[in-house]
Amino acid sequence: MARGVNKVILIGNLGQDPETRYTPNGNAVVNLTLATDESYKDRQTGQLVPKTEWHRIVMFGKIAEVAGQYLRKGSKVYIEGKLQTRKWQGQDGQDRYTTEIVVDINGQMQMLDSRGGDGGGMNQGAPAGRPQQQSYNQPAPQQQGGGYQGQSGGYSQQPPQQQSQQHPPQPSPQHSPQQQQSSMPEPVDDFDDDIPF
Amino acid sequence: MARGVNKVILIGNLGQDPETRYTPNGNAVVNLTLATDESYKDRQTGQLVPKTEWHRIVMFGKIAEVAGQYLRKGSKVYIEGKLQTRKWQGQDGQDRYTTEIVVDINGQMQMLDSRGGDGGGMNQGAPAGRPQQQSYNQPAPQQQGGGYQGQSGGYSQQPPQQQSQQHPPQPSPQHSPQQQQSSMPEPVDDFDDDIPF
Amino acid sequence: MARGVNKVILIGNLGQDPETRYTPNGNAVVNLTLATDESYKDRQTGQLVPKTEWHRIVMFGKIAEVAGQYLRKGSKVYIEGKLQTRKWQGQDGQDRYTTEIVVDINGQMQMLDSRGGDGGGMNQGAPAGRPQQQSYNQPAPQQQGGGYQGQSGGYSQQPPQQQSQQHPPQPSPQHSPQQQQSSMPEPVDDFDDDIPF
Amino acid sequence: MARGVNKVILIGNLGQDPETRYTPNGNAVVNLTLATDESYKDRQTGQLVPKTEWHRIVMFGKIAEVAGQYLRKGSKVYIEGKLQTRKWQGQDGQDRYTTEIVVDINGQMQMLDSRGGDGGGMNQGAPAGRPQQQSYNQPAPQQQGGGYQGQSGGYSQQPPQQQSQQHPPQPSPQHSPQQQQSSMPEPVDDFDDDIPF
DNA sequence: TTTT
DNA sequence: TTTT
């Protein structure tokens, strides 16, 4: 529920491959940088000057999974999300603020590459087959708490094992104490399947 | 011209009265802070927790003039603009980044207070009569170059006198109310109406 | 899931009180007409001519319930939905098409009257207390099939009794046959379930 | 000027080649049909059922010129416009209504085919070179009066010769390549004002 | 850092 | 009528 409207709509290209992390609960969190270009006319020279605007995107839930799997550096994508500015501490102890576009359960993502080309070519990790134009709305709404702390701790770079199945506790030491502190936001918990297509 | 889409849509309330400045050419530049509220459910307590997101808005052109005149702390407003992140230097010499929603010629603004109440009450500068619900599209496009440096120099806190005409320096050091009225900048030429907002 | 983007954003005023109906399962369906105004300059006279655009809105789910309860003729509202054109038969047997803005689980609604005034005054059915500015996202997504036939049959003008509880079949003759056959249990609000359209 | 917000955002594919007409003043008017797809889950079978929504688009001005030149059947495109319903008379003398998305000076269009392929291949009229991803905002506002009458009379299927200049009647009945060149879209043209940013 |  |  919201008193107000907070909506961002972007179409642009990824500057890098997406970075995928996982919450202790196995939910994907993806960070992207997206470029939108605009040209303006220089007043002195009359020349058209290209200007690129870079956007930081954070995706949660199923959209994040799809983005992590199918988007690559250079991919063109439509994104709908909301603005969120988070505060963090610089190494000098001073407050810094970073504004991101959060794409959660209420957001949308749509891949716009008609051929799904990864734009980079050197992404050996790219999946063999990929969808060409597909849009995702998350399956269930969720409120974003104040807990997300950007790139900071508590996230695993490893995908969860079979998140949708019951399985015995992981003995693996890779899953560290960070998992214990399960106060991390868990944007979407009720996925009903892993791969939507 | 743009290769991409960069659009922000907000409905929220002003945290403070707008700050109006003027370029050397007499064009208004207005800074706003806008709050959009959202509630999320705390996972531990199950309580609805209100969360306010603050947005920095920069307006140019006629929309800026209208906003500066009619919006006040607490005003509810619809805004359409684009995201822009600008770099600046902190006092420690380090780079900082601030993301703002730029409402220029391609943006839109709409006052949503059915009564135009200023929400604060102590804004003696508020004009007597104000429109109730009015939307503004800028009359002609304009490209935003890279030159805008936020709050920094080159801006005047005083509105220009009759910018579109050559005129001798104003002797009066005080800006009287009458001047306020008669100093409407008219940067764009093809207005199809006579209402100044 | 969508291959494409289909989004409508409107701010306007209701032309009439909302019409609420209920599906056999007790889910609210609300029809609205919304006016958005625009002025254009007549090319001959140079006069500003007001022009009102009327939009047909159909709301489903919890948003519909809220709209039916709190919106009245004249209410100002923000609506986000999608375009849908449905075909129907005129009395002359010919095909007609009506385009509506569908506000379902993926849509949004926000009341913008700072005072919630009903704008009409003669709506005795209006609830005593009403929210002032509140936005609604539906709690869970739902796919809109092709079956919705507008104003046509299968809908009841009467609200369901205690839709969130199990209850014995209603002996009341007020409840039409259609309602009788729909004695299914009614999970509270997040229906991803049995809406037949 | 508008009291209200009336905005439509679509991403979809053209069902046919665009139809271009010209007003007596030589302004291009383009009609498109755009498909947006959505899948919904059939309640009986649980199957995903594809559903296509068709949208009627009308474009004016420079955007229309670009669309007429570069879009083809199958082209994927982003469109931003406004809803407009116009009344017309059926052959039976009865009123009919058609809702269209109007893309005028305040609208936007962006071609999303990474390769500009025409999707049909048999469009011999397609220009040799075409932009790949380009977005257009109209360079100057224009009010849409009540005068547009859909497909009806007053429009020419022939493009104007040099509409922006006074010139003697063209002797050549054939539209030469040079003319083609000179009618190339020029998304950004005349920013002449003095805003220094 | 992307894209054309 | 498009697209995947």
Q: Give the closest of D2, D10, D41 to C5, CB-based.
A: D10
pLDDT digits (tens, 9 = 90+) for D95-118: 999 999 999 999 999 999 964 433
Chains with ≥3 CB–CB distances under 8 Å to C: A, B, D
Give the residue whose CA sits closest to F1 at C1'.
D15
Dmax of chain B from CA atoms?
A: 68
Distance CA D141, CA B105 (A): 10
Q: Do B51 and A83 count as a contact with CB atoms less than 8 A apart?
A: no
Q: How many CA atoms lie within 13 A of C81 on its CB side?
A: 29
Q: Which residues of B touch D (CB under 8 A)?
A: 1-5, 23-25, 27, 60-61, 78, 80, 106, 108, 110, 133-145, 147-148, 154, 187-188, 190, 192-193, 195
Mean pLDDT of chain A: 72
The whole-angstrom distance between C135's CA and the closest CA on chain A is 5
**C1, C103, C130: best to mutate for the A interface, most A CBs within 10 A:** C1
Per-chain mean pLDDT for chain B? 72
Residues B58-87, mean pLDDT to the nearest whole number: 97
Q: Give the mean pLDDT of chain C.
A: 72
> Is residue C196's pLDDT more than 50?
no
- Comparing A39-43, A62-66, C55-59, which segment has the lowest mean pLDDT? A39-43
Q: Count CA atoms within 13 Å of residue B144 on its CB side.
A: 26
Q: What value does the mean pLDDT take over residues A131-156?
A: 50
Question: Is A76 in contact with D133 (Cβ distance < 8 A)?
Answer: yes
Of D3, D84, D101, the CB nearest to C37: D3
The rounded percent of chain D whose pLDDT value lies above 90 is: 47
The set of strand F positions with any atom below 7 Å of a protein CB reads: 1-4
B110: confidence class by pLDDT, cuts 50, 70, 90: very high
Type of residue found at B33: T
Contact at CB, A11 and D76, closer than 8 angstroms? no
Quote the percentage of chain A above a pLDDT of 90: 47
pLDDT of residue B196: 25
Which residues 104 to 143 of D reach strand F, CB within 7 A?
119-120
Residue D159 is predicted with a pLDDT of 67
Q: Is the CB of D33 under 7 A from strand F?
A: yes
- pLDDT classification of A46: cutoffs 50, 70, 90: confident
Query: Mean pLDDT throughout A66-82?
Result: 97
Contact C149, C112 (CB under 8 A): no
pLDDT tens-digit readout, A86-110: 999 988 889 999 999 999 999 999 9
What would the pLDDT profile of C85-144 be if each residue is shown by its tens digit?
A: 999 998 888 999 999 999 999 999 999 996 544 333 333 333 434 444 556 666 444 344
Q: Which residues contact A183 (CB under 8 A, 6 or more apart)?
A: A147, B44
Comparison of pLDDT for A1 and A15, the residue scoring more: A15
- By CB neighbour count within 10 A (0-12 exposed, 13-18 middle, 19+ buried), where does B118 fall? buried
Q: Are C60 and C105 in contact (CB under 8 A)?
A: yes
Does residue B39 have a pLDDT over 50?
A: yes
Q: Give the model's pLDDT for residue B126.
A: 38
Query: Out of A108-122, A131-145, B38-52, C15-29, which region has the weakest mean confidence (pLDDT)?
Result: A131-145
The pLDDT assigned to D4 comes to: 93
pLDDT of residue B160: 58
Return the HEC string of chain A. CEECEEEEEEEEEECCCCEEEECCCCCEEEEEEEEEEEEEECCCCCCEEEEEEEEEEEEEHHHHHHHHHHCCCCCEEEEEEEEEEEEEECCCCCEEEEEEEEECCCCEEEECCCCCCCCCCCCCCCCCCCCCCCEEECCCCCCCCCCCCCCCCCCECCCCCCCCCCCCCCCCCCCCHHHCCCCCCCCCCCCCCCCCC
Q: CA-to-C1' distance for C13 and F2, Å? A: 35
What average pLDDT does range B40-66 have in this prediction?
Answer: 94
Which of B37, B79, B112 to probe the C interface (max C CBs under 10 A)? B112
pLDDT of residue C161: 54
Q: Is the pLDDT of residue C53 over 80?
A: yes
Q: Is the pLDDT of residue B177 over 60?
A: no
What are the structure tokens assigned to D63, written together? 């955007």
pLDDT at residue C29 above 80? yes
Q: Which residue of A has its CA nearest to B93?
A: A92
Chain A residues within 8 A (CB-CB) of chain D?
A: 9, 11, 39-41, 43, 48, 76, 78, 110, 112-115, 117, 133
Interface contact flag, B113 C114, Cβ < 8 Å: yes
Residue C18 pLDDT > 50 = yes
Secondary structure class of D147 (helix, strand, coil): coil
Question: Region B77-85: what's the mean pLDDT?
Answer: 98
Which of the residues C112, C118, C189 would you substitute to probe the B interface, choosing the one with the greatest number of B C-beta atoms within 10 Å? Answer: C112
**How many Cβ atoms are within 10 Å of A49's Cβ, its own excluded?**
13
D86 or B187: which carries more pLDDT confidence?
Answer: D86
- Gap between the Cα atoms of D142 and B192, Å rounded: 9
Of A131, A193, C146, C106, nearest to D49 (Cα)? C146
Contact at CB, B10 and A4, closer than 8 angstroms: yes
Q: What is the mean pLDDT of residues D2-29?
A: 96
Task: Round to a whole number and report the distance in Å from the CA of A159 to the C1' of E3.
Answer: 30
> Does the distance separating the beta carbons of B137 and D195 come in below 8 Å?
no
Angle at A154 between CA A153 and CA A160, to 5 degrees: 135
Determine the pLDDT at residue C39: 85
Q: Structure tokens of C85?
A: 């054109």
More confident residue, C45 or C114: C45
- The pTM for the full model equals 0.73
Q: Is C23 helix (H, G, I), strand (E, B) or coil?
A: coil
End-to-end CA distance of chain B: 26
Contact D35 C2 (CB under 8 A): no
> For A64-78, A149-163, B94-108, which range has the lowest pLDDT when averaged over its residues?
A149-163
pLDDT at position C4 over 80 = yes
D4, D36, D145: residue with CB nearest C6: D36
Mean pLDDT of A60-66: 96
* Predicted confidence band of residue B188 (pLDDT cuts 50, 70, 90): very low
Strands D48-60 and D95-103: parallel
* Confidence at C186, pLDDT banded by 50, 70, 90: very low
Give the distance between the most distant pair of CA atoms in chain A.
68
Instruction: For residue B187, give the nearest of D80, D134, D195 by CB distance.
Output: D195
Query: Long-range pairs for C64-68 at CB < 8 Å and ≥24 separation?
Result: C64/C20, C64/C27, C64/C28, C64/C29, C64/C30, C64/C103, C65/C28, C65/C30, C66/C109, C66/C134, C66/C136, C67/C18, C67/C30, C67/C32, C67/C109, C68/C18, C68/C20, C68/C28, C68/C30
> Is the pLDDT confidence value at C46 over 50?
yes
Q: Burial-class residue B80 by CB neighbours within 10 Å (0-12, 13-18, 19+).
A: buried
pLDDT at C189: 33
Q: How confident is the model at residue B162 (pLDDT cuts 50, 70, 90)?
A: very low
Contacts of A117 in chain D (CB under 8 A): 114
- Cβ separation of D117 and A114 shorter than 8 Å? yes
Q: Which of A2, A41, A24 is nearest to A169 (CA)?
A: A24
Task: Return the nearest residue to E2, CA–C1'.
Answer: A15
Highest mean pLDDT among A133-147, C101-115, C155-169, D135-149: C101-115
Q: For residues B69 and B164, which has the higher predicted lDDT (pLDDT)?
A: B69
The better pLDDT of the pair C37, B174 is held by C37
Cβ within 8 Å of residue C75, ≥6 positions away? C13, C14, C111, C113, C116, C117, C118, C119
To the nearest whole Å, the CA of A8 is away from the closest chain B CA by 4
CB within 8 Å: B112 and C11? yes
Which candidate from D5, D135, D195 shows the least CB-CB separation from B110?
Answer: D5
Strand E contact set, beta carbon < 7 A? A 12-16, 33, 35, 37, 50, 52, 54, 73-74, 76, 119-120; B 3; D 114, 131-133
| pLDDT at B121 > cutoff 90 | no
Q: pLDDT at residue A172 above 70?
A: no
- Report CA(A74)–C1'(E2) in Å, whole number: 5
Q: How far is A107 from chain C (nearest CA, A)?
A: 9
Q: Which of C116-120, D17-21, D175-179 has the highest mean pLDDT?
A: D17-21
Cβ separation of A141 and C136 shorter than 8 Å?
no
Distance between CA B61 and CA C100 in Å, rounded? 35
Taking CA–CA distances from C137, the nearest residue in chain A reads A1
Give whole-number Cα distances, A92 to A88, B93, D98, in Å.
11, 12, 62
Record the tokens describing residue D68, joined without a space.
Answer: 């007429």
- In chain D, which residue's Cα lies nearest the Cα of B28? D195
Q: Which nucleotide is nearest to A34 (CA to C1')?
A: E2
According to the model, what pLDDT value does residue D2 have? Answer: 77
Taking only the tens place, the pLDDT of each residue in D129-143 is 444 455 666 644 434
Q: Taking CB atoms and an 8 Å cutoff, what residues of chain B touch D187?
A: 1
CA-to-C1' span, D68 to E2 (A) = 28
A56 to chain D, closest Cα gap in Å: 22
* Residue A40: per-residue pLDDT: 82
**Mean pLDDT in residue range A73-98:** 95
Task: Using alpha carbons, select from C186, C66, C43, C35 the residue that is nearest to residue C136.
Answer: C66
- In angstroms, the CA D71 to CA D30 distance is 11
